[in-house]
Structure 1
Amino acid sequence: MGIETTRADRKVNKELREFPKATNTTSKSKPRKSRRRQKKTSPVQKLFQTCKEVFANGGTGTVPSHEDIERLRAVLDKMKPEDVGLSPDMLCLRPQGARRTPEITYFQLYESEKFSMGIFCLPPSGVIPLHNHPGMTVFSKLLFGTMHINSYDWVVDGPSYTSADLNPSEITVDPAARLAKVKVDSDFTAPCNTSILYPADGGNMHCFTAVTACAVLDVLGPPYSEPDDRHCTYYLEFPFTSFSVDGVSVPEEEREGYAWLQEREIKPEDVSVVRARYRGPEIVDK
């Protein structure tokens, strides 16, 4: 997932235990051994360390190696709500009554120039509108609940469409629309595998809708950054049959697998995301 956010400031014990020398004279004396007892690394600290290694040489459009992607995926697949101090009965996850658009809560775990880690908590019917992730590789792990994911990739060398026939009330920018192919259009219920999207495929543009109260842990590499031209763009969706373009032909039975996407100039007014302080297990940058 990922909604553009501002950058936050960044922030074993070892105990030696000496075992006594063996005193049994009937057996061969054993050399004195020294063993170290090290505090067990928390799951979220392990996630942080893995991200730090995987994205160490990253940048806009840089995709980690297959081995690194699988290594990070394996760590995320094991993450549980309690590993980041969350539970489904949190106040921010309760139904919000007659409120037009449920408020979404964002907990930022960490952010640097290389990557960011954060959690989005969505109450029932909460929506993060269709948006993109320019030049970024994104890992999303659903921690609990059921979420509908709708994602798209641009059709390579696909046509664009401009027309005065678009509904004026929905036009927020130049009415150009580009053809996109549906990547995912399904419900996901935790526990489930981590989803991954890439700069040019895998569903780089996606929309999340909470079927039930849910939480998703997001890792972005690199994160959004206006100076680096990685800003979040939102889109309107139009069915493939909305327009007729010369040279564009899709069999009728496949048309639901395509859509026209049009950029929105600003963040949708009905999106409400509030930032909250992360109070889960400590993350140590070392």
Structure 2
Amino acid sequence: MRVEGDFADRKARELAAAERVNGPSLKRNRRRQKNSPAMPTLVQKLFNTCREIFSGVQAGVVPSPAGVERLRSVLDRMNPGDVGLNQSMPYFGSFGETEKPPPVTYLHLYECEQFSIGIFCLPPSAVIPLHNHPGMTVFSKLLFGSMHVKSFDWLDGPPPDTEPGLAKVVMDAAFTAPCNTSILYPAAGGNIHCFTAVTACAVLDVLGPPYSDDCTYYNELPCANISSGDSALAAEEGETQGRVWLEQREKKPDDFVVVGGKYRGPRIVVR
């Protein structure tokens, strides 16, 4: 028993000596760990990047190529969990057989004079009708689900408000997540577009600058009876493939309903 007691006493003295030597450094390490900031969430990185690349950017002006790639890189990494979404949420449920498209839910994350961040939640068969983004650069990230996108650019610049304009098809295809972020520019990339939910889906949108007025909605008309003399076509007679007339609508379609929902993902810290 005495041997065991001597051993215990010796170990106690050694531990006490070690604590006297290492105690201050151990306390400093614990203090550093306690005071070190948590890693920012992806949605916070998204906000920080938007604030940097859209700083001083006016309507109709595209951020620098390096800035565009930085923001695209952040969005490409994002998934539903990064913004508190899952497919079981009521926004994405089926509304059964109805004559009208089901409502779209919009989740607002942030908006300032330079940019806005939000999420469109579409149940199956929901439609965001053909509309434009005047003067904006738009980043769209499909977070989950499948969506059909049809988009257009003007062939010869936007027409007067009362007249239809000739446009070319930029995109007419379905996309399924995970997929890369799409970018629409003020005058290129399919600034006029329509979304149709093939399945329930969610789209994270960044707009720079945000909407200041309501967007314009359009009807798509067949491109018929256009002669080769039309300067906008500059093509052989009868070649109308990939071209349509877009006619401005007087107002938003009555069957397009957007309701607001509460964003429940990680919060954005604005300093």
Where does 1:70-85 land on structure 2 (aligned, <5 Å)?
70-85=69-84
What amino acid does structure 2 have at the position aligned with 1:103?
Answer: P
**Conserved? CA contact 1:123–1:212, under 8 Å:** yes
Larger Rg: 2
Secondary structure of the corresponding residue to residue 107 of structure 1? strand
Change (3 A) 1:210 1:252: farther
TM-score, normalised via structure 1 length: 0.79
- What residue identity is the alignment partner of 1:149? V
Instruction: Please tell me the residue identity of whatever aligns with 1:284.
Output: V
Do 2:152 and 2:169's aligned partners in 1 also have CA atoms closer than 8 Å? Answer: yes
Q: State whether structure 2 residue 222 is matched by structure 1 residue 239.
A: yes
1:45 maps to which residue?
44
Matches of 1:66 and 1:102, distance apart in 2: 37
Aligned match of 1:4: none
Matched, 1:180 2:162: no
Instruction: Quote the sequence identity (%).
Output: 57
Amino acid at match of 1:186: A
* Higher relative helix content: 2
The residue that corresponds to 1:166 in the other structure is none
Q: Deviations over 1:207-253 (max 9, x none)?
A: 00000000000000000003xxxx30000001212x43561354589
Shift of 1:255: 2.6
Counterpart AA for 2:182: S
Contact 2:228 2:236 in 1 (8 A): no
Find the aligned partners of 1:103 and 1:200 in 2 and give their Cα distance: 29
User: Please, which runs of 5 or more residues in structure 2 have no aligned partner?
Assistant: 1-18, 23-27
**SS at 1:215 equivalent:** strand
Given that 1:239 and 1:256 are in contact with CA atoms closer than 8 Å, whether structure 2 keeps it comes out as: no
Give the corresponding residue for 2:204: 217
Please report the TM-score for the alignment, with normalisation by the length of structure 2.
0.83
How has the CA–CA distance of structure 1 residues 185 and 253 changed in structure 2, closer, same or farther, with 3 Å as cutoff? farther
2:212 and 2:269 mapped to 1: Cα distance?
24
Quick one: distance in 1 between partners of 2:201 and 2:254?
22
Gaps of 5+ in 1: 1-19, 24-31, 162-172
Contact (CA 8 Å) 2:131, 2:217: kept in 1 or not? yes
The amino acid across from 1:140 in the alignment is S
CA distance in 2, matches of 1:234, 1:21: 75
How many Å separate the matches in 2 of 1:221 and 1:178? 25
Q: 1:104 aligns to what?
A: 104
Amino acid aligned to 2:226: S
- Between Structure 1 and Structure 2, how many residues are aligned? 242
**Corresponding residue of 1:15:** none
Summarize the Cα distance change of 1:39–1:123 in structure 2 as closer, same or farther, 3 Å threshold.
Answer: same
Q: CA RMSD in A?
A: 2.3
Residues 157, 96 of structure 1: CA spacing in aligned structure 2 closer, same or farther, 3 A cutoff? closer
Shift of 1:43: 0.7
Q: Which amino acid aligns with 2:175?
A: F
